[in-house]
Amino acid sequence: MEQHTNMPLHPARRLLLPVLVASALLAGCAGNPLRSYDKEMGDTVSLLKEGNLSGALSQLESNNHSSGKNGEGKDILYYFEKGELLRLGSEYEPSRDAWLQADGIVQTWEDEYRMNPTKVLGDVGALLVSDRVRSYDGQDYEKVFLSTKLMLDHIMLGNTDNARVEMKKTFERETLIKNFREQEYDKIREEKEKQSISLKPADLLGNGYPMDRLESPEVNALKNGYQNAFAHYLSGYFFEMTGEPSLSDPGYRNALELRPDSTLIRAKVHGKGKQARPGPNEADVLFVVESGQAPALKSVMVPVPLPINKKLIVAPLSFPVVISSGVYTPTDINVSGKKLPVETIVNVDAMANRQLKDQLPGIIGRTAIRGIAKGGAQYEAQKKAGVLGGIAVGAATVVTEQADERSWRTLPARLSIARAILPVGEQMIEFRTGRGTYRGTITVGGKVNIVPIRIIGDFVYVGQQGAKGSVTQLPSSNWAKLEEDEGIEAIQKRVDAAAKQKQPVVPAQEEKPMKNDNPASKLLPKKLF
Amino acid sequence: MRFYRVLLLSAVLSLSMSACITTNSPTTGGKGVSYGDSKAVETVSTDLGSTDIQMTAEKMTMSMLQTPLLQDIIRQRGLLMASPVANKTSEYFDTKLITDTILTQLQKNGVRYVIAGDEMQNQTDELIRQNQTGLYKKSTAAKVGNMQGAQYRIDGSVSSIVKRDASVKDVYYKINMRLIEIESGIVEWSDEKEIRKTLRK
Amino acid sequence: MKKMIALLALGAACAGVCQPIYAADGGSIASKVEELGKIDSLTVTDMRAARRDNLLRIQFTVTNSSPKNEQLYYRFRWLDADGFTVWDEEPWKPEIIYGKQDKVLNAIAPTFKAVDFKLELQSPHNSTTSERTGAGDNPPYR
């Protein structure tokens, strides 16, 4: 090792050592952040689809068993999923507690940001190792969803005071995220100007990457990836029920701003005063219909030309893709003969795509810099130790090079609402799902009446305030055909084919002289050249 | 001579030492938290905040007190109530913060008011409890049917216009309040407070 | 002559009701104003107080001698005849005085009990000759 001290180290190699050590350490421990989250959660979600809640729960526990006894060291995703599974089983108290744990993690992030925004903004710890090693404190939309769901738990437990607190927190959180993203955006723009980056993500990722998903009308219609129309509508409803119009009006108004097409919300904003109020033996009931499951994040390998050792080398890098599974949302609910229209106001698929779209420039930058560092190391190792060393480093590169697949998977794909004034007492409800018609009863009564309905797989979970909810298997007859996203294998094939067409036969190790007009030179920091 | 020097030195020493000693404040806890002036001008964000509430309530109280009608109401021991002030902004701002302060300040000047809105629930609950549970002595229980109606009510609204570009956010708030005779619906007094808040990046 | 009579009549009508504090002698304004430190370019150039509708009513003029806009914070302290405060601490009120502007500001006592007052003034550009750090060095805003 001594002769190295006299030699100027290649910058990439200087960076490599900690990477290798880190990846070796990570591979060793069982709570490995490099584990495939998508694979793990896939099992849990399919148990949920089969109506096996306890099975899903124990699966989740066994995937996270290695952490500390009292839950220390368990990550936010574990609490996200646990809270949701418990809630579906009508266990609102433990569900609330699990989500409060997750909330604590988000609050730590918030406090950190409040105390030292520059540090959080400059969170480039994962510059060298894969994005998935970055500490995960939830996607923006997950953070907002968390406090919205906590709010619902409090309401289901009949604790309106805590629901009110949670409601305030939701919007403080929203503002904080907004400020954070605005600052981040400014910073990225600043950096871009410094490094004269002019390349768009679409140019770099080529034809194969499903860029159309990030540019769909639903995604572009969103103001951002985190604001949740339901959170605002829920506070509109809640404060209307508690008789606080000065807080309920902004709720509906903000919801309409996020969902200008919704007739249910518009009626609340523009039809004020004209609406019927519940009589003495009636109640204003809000149906919260959650259908399907949140999309998965998967990795796709895209060959990207990188400047390594003053040569341009095409290296496969991994980028995340949002893959939605199909969803069926009923168009109406029949309540004791009354037909209520169901309106979708939150599209989690679109939110996930929007989030990815907004973060893609950052992801590309980080991934490329990492690729350059590793490529440089590989080059050096091969030159020095011959083929054997080259293989060793190459293997480490492949292991660490995976996109971040972490996300809250038991969230629904769509959240819809229906609302009506109904007589107090038992009511028959009926609605169509993708797998036949659901029939059941609900009990109406009390001041705040929320009926949470979750449709996933062959099962319908209906919650009940102050009582045990129901889990019902659907008849599984006349299945509706669901429109699913193209799978990751197909995307990968397409990406590979596009790459072949664009850059005919450029193996990873082949060296190509650099040209100044190369796209990569525009994208990457000049000091790396 | 030497003696003087020693004296001087000790004097200097004692002086410097006395300058060093500070007393401990009667506080406990971490570093980050402290109490501030509740009357300070708050400029944390462009949202409606403490200063806006205080200034608005102050102006409305002053303006209302001035009107001969209100002074008549005080003399005749008339009753007021506050209707919920409409919030026409997109901010989650509890307008009760303004009306409560106005009512408190008016009461200090002798105005009497009755409760209304979401506070009514506690009132009716207590009346029902005293009369229907059978736990209370008949003679001491508050009788049902003796609550008094107000002759006047305070009403109002908070509206805003928000404008922004890349570097400036400008918010204009208008808080409007009225005193209405309930029986006739006549607006007996009205006033407004305008607030402009600007944020520059 | 006619004019003079009219003036006298006006003065008589005011007697007992108005208590104008004239700027001419300077001293009477100074006795009502408390500046937190010396405010460089802002001065109270006129101040009058009167009792109307049973309430103490005050009008004062702040003059900005500099060409730049100046931020002013002010509030009143309401006192009874014995000098006790009869109202809670008022919130500080922010006011922008444009360069070379004479700004007229009004206030009405929030309580019937007030018969006297003090006006507190603060500006971020206060200067102070005393070395002790006083409240004047820290503007009343966050």
Q: Which of B40, B54, B55 sits opposite C142 (nearest CB)?
A: B40
Q: How far is CA B25 from CA B34, C126, C133, C134, in A?
A: 12, 28, 18, 18
Q: Which chain B residue's Cα is nearest to A270?
A: B88
pLDDT-derived band at B8 (thresholds 50, 70, 90) equals: low
Residues A433-458: tens digit of each pLDDT: 888 889 999 999 888 899 999 998 88
Instruction: Quote the ipTM score.
Output: 0.76
pLDDT value, residue C124: 84
Q: Is the pLDDT of residue A386 over 70?
A: no
Q: How far is CA A125 from CA A214, A371, A399, in A?
A: 26, 15, 18
Contacts of C96 in chain B (CB under 8 A): none
Q: Which of A235, A242, A245 sits opposite B86 (nearest CB)?
A: A245
Q: How far is B42 from chain A (nearest CA, A)?
A: 18
Residues B172-183: tens digit of each pLDDT: 999 999 999 999
Closest by alpha carbon to A358, among A486, A226, A258, A254? A226
At A112, phi and psi to the nearest 5? -60, -45
pLDDT-derived band at A505 (thresholds 50, 70, 90) equals: very low
Interface of B with C in 112-171 (CB under 8 A): none
Greater pLDDT, A257 or A2: A257
pLDDT value, residue B121: 84
Q: Is the pLDDT of residue C26 over 60?
A: no
- Is the CB of residue A163 less than 8 Å from the CB of residue A148? no
Across B127-155, average pLDDT:
91
How many structural domains is chain C composed of?
Answer: 1
- Is the CB of residue C51 less than 8 Å from the CB of residue C112? no
Contacts of B70 in chain C (CB under 8 A): none
Q: Which of A171, A246, A251 sits opposite B96 (nearest CB)?
A: A246
Q: Which of B58, B65, B68 sits opposite C90 (nearest CB)?
A: B58
Across B21-40, average pLDDT:
81
Hey, which chains touch C, using 3+ CB pairs under 8 Å?
B
Q: Which of B41, B65, B105 sits opposite C140 (nearest CB)?
A: B41
B65 touches chain C (CB under 8 A): yes
Query: CA-to-CA distance for A310 and A228, rounded, in angstroms?
Result: 47
Q: Is the pLDDT of residue B42 over 50?
A: yes
Q: Which chain C residue's Cα is nearest to B39?
A: C91
pLDDT-derived band at A418 (thresholds 50, 70, 90) equals: very high
At A69, phi and psi to the nearest 5? -65, -45
Query: CA-to-CA distance for A156 and A468, rounded, in angstroms?
Result: 11
A244 touches chain B (CB under 8 A): yes
The region of weakest confidence among A7-11, A27-31, A502-506 is: A27-31
Q: Which of B41, B51, B108 sits opposite C111 (nearest CB)?
A: B108
Phi and psi based region of residue A504 (left: phi greater than 0; alpha: psi -120 to 50; beta: remaining): beta
Q: Check B90 against A247: CB less than 8 A apart.
A: no
Q: Is the pLDDT of residue B76 over 70?
A: yes
Contacts of A246 in chain B (CB under 8 A): 84-87, 93-96, 158
Q: Check B62 against C109: CB less than 8 A apart.
A: yes
Q: Is A122 exposed, middle or buried (0-12, 13-18, 19+ CB in 10 A)?
A: exposed
Q: Is the pLDDT of residue A170 over 60?
A: yes
The highest-confidence range among A52-56, A402-406, B65-69, by mean pLDDT, is: B65-69
Query: CA-to-CA distance for A144 and A345, rounded, in angstroms?
Result: 15
Strand pairing partners for C62?
A: C44, C103
pLDDT-derived band at A388 (thresholds 50, 70, 90) equals: very low
pLDDT value, residue B24: 80
User: Is chain B adjacent to chain C, meaning 3+ CB pairs within 8 angstroms?
Assistant: yes
Tell me, yes or no, whether C51 lies in a domain.
Answer: yes
Q: How many CB pairs under 8 A join B and C?
A: 60
- Is the CB of residue C85 less than 8 Å from the CB of residue C79? yes
Q: Is the pLDDT of residue A304 over 80?
A: no
DSSP C15: T
pLDDT value, residue C3: 40
Query: CA-to-CA distance for A39 and A376, rounded, in angstroms?
Result: 31
Q: Check A250 against B92: CB less than 8 A apart.
A: yes
B46 touches chain A (CB under 8 A): no
Mean pLDDT over each residue of chain C, to the nearest integer: 77
Q: How far is CA C116 from CA A286, A389, B64, B68, C48, in A?
A: 58, 90, 20, 22, 12
Contacts of B87 in chain A (CB under 8 A): 245-247, 249-250
Q: Is the pLDDT of residue A33 over 90?
A: no
Q: Is the pLDDT of residue A421 over 50?
A: yes
Interface of B with A in 119-158 (CB under 8 A): 158
What tokens were used for A477? 């007859």
Greater pLDDT, A218 or A485: A218
What tokens were used for A472? 């019902």
Q: Check A242 against B87: CB less than 8 A apart.
A: no
Across A293-297, average pLDDT:
89
Q: Is the pLDDT of residue A34 over 60?
A: no
pLDDT value, residue C74: 94
Q: What is the 3-state secondary structure (H, E, C) of chain B?
A: CHHHHHHHHHHHHHHHHHHHCCCCCCCCCCCCCCCCCCCCECCCCCCCCHHHHHHHHHHHHHHHHHCHHHHHHHHCCCEEEECCCEECCCCCCCCHHHHHHHHHHHHHCCCEECCCHHHHHHHHHHHHHHHHCCCCCCCCCCCCCCCCCCCEEEEEEEEEEEEECCCEEEEEEEEEEEEEECCCCCEEEEEEEEEEEEEEC
Q: Tell me if residue C110 falls in helix, strand or coil.
A: coil
Query: CA-to-CA distance for A248 and A243, rounded, in angstroms?
Result: 8
- Is the CB of residue A400 less than 8 Å from the CB of residue A34? yes
Q: Which of B90, B95, B118 sits opposite A253 (nearest CB)?
A: B90
Where in the sequence is the domain holding C26, given as residue range(s)? 19-126
Q: Which chain B residue's Cα is nearest to C55?
A: B66
Tell me, yes or no, whether C74 lies in a domain.
Answer: yes
pLDDT-derived band at C87 (thresholds 50, 70, 90) equals: very high
Q: How far is B103 from chain A (nearest CA, A)?
A: 17
Hey, which chains touch B, using 3+ CB pairs under 8 Å?
A, C
Q: Check C92 against B43: CB less than 8 A apart.
A: no
Residue showing tokens 């010396």: C38
Answer positive or negative: Cα dihedral of A165, A171, A174, A178.
negative
Across B13-40, average pLDDT:
73
- Is the CB of residue B154 less than 8 Å from the CB of residue B184? no
The region of weakest confidence among B11-15, C25-29, C35-39 is: B11-15
pLDDT value, residue A229: 94
Tell me, yes or no, whether C117 lies in a domain.
Answer: yes
Q: Which of B36, B62, B108 sits opposite C142 (nearest CB)?
A: B36
Query: CA-to-CA distance for C115 and C107, rounded, in angstroms?
Result: 13
User: Is chain A adjacent to chain B, meaning 3+ CB pairs within 8 angstroms?
Assistant: yes
pLDDT value, residue C93: 93
What tokens were used for A354? 């929007």
Hey, which chains touch A, using 3+ CB pairs under 8 Å?
B
pLDDT value, residue C92: 93
pLDDT-derived band at A6 (thresholds 50, 70, 90) equals: very low
Greater pLDDT, B81 or A118: B81
Closest by alpha carbon to C89, among C103, C79, C98, C101? C79
Query: CA-to-CA distance for A168 and A3, rounded, in angstroms?
Result: 62
Query: CA-to-CA distance for A485 and C132, rounded, in angstroms?
Result: 71
Which H or E run includes C74? strand C70-79
Q: Check C91 against B55: CB less than 8 A apart.
A: yes
pLDDT value, residue A389: 45
pLDDT value, residue A73: 63
Q: Check B39 against C89: CB less than 8 A apart.
A: yes
- Is the CB of residue B95 less than 8 Å from the CB of residue A247? no
Strand order in the sheet with A436-444: A338-341, A332-335, A425-433, A436-444
User: Is chain A adjacent to chain C, meaning 3+ CB pairs within 8 angstroms?
Assistant: no
Interface of B with C in 92-111 (CB under 8 A): 105, 108-109
Fold of domain B45-133+148-200: Rossmann fold (3.40.50)
Q: Which of A235, A246, A251 sits opposite B94 (nearest CB)?
A: A246
> Cα A55 from chain centroid?
24
B190 touches chain C (CB under 8 A): no
Q: What is the 3-state secondary structure (H, E, C) of A295-348?
A: CEEEEEEEEEEEEECCEEEEEEEEEEEEECCCCCCCCEEEECCEEEECEEEEEH
Q: Where residue C35 sits, what CATH number does that domain have? A: 2.60.40.3230
Greater pLDDT, B12 or C64: C64
Q: Is the pLDDT of residue A507 over 80?
A: no
Greater pLDDT, A484 or A263: A263
Contacts of B108 in chain C (CB under 8 A): 111
Closest by alpha carbon to A403, among A105, A119, A37? A37
Greater pLDDT, A351 or A445: A351
Q: Which chain A residue's Cα is nearest to B95?
A: A246
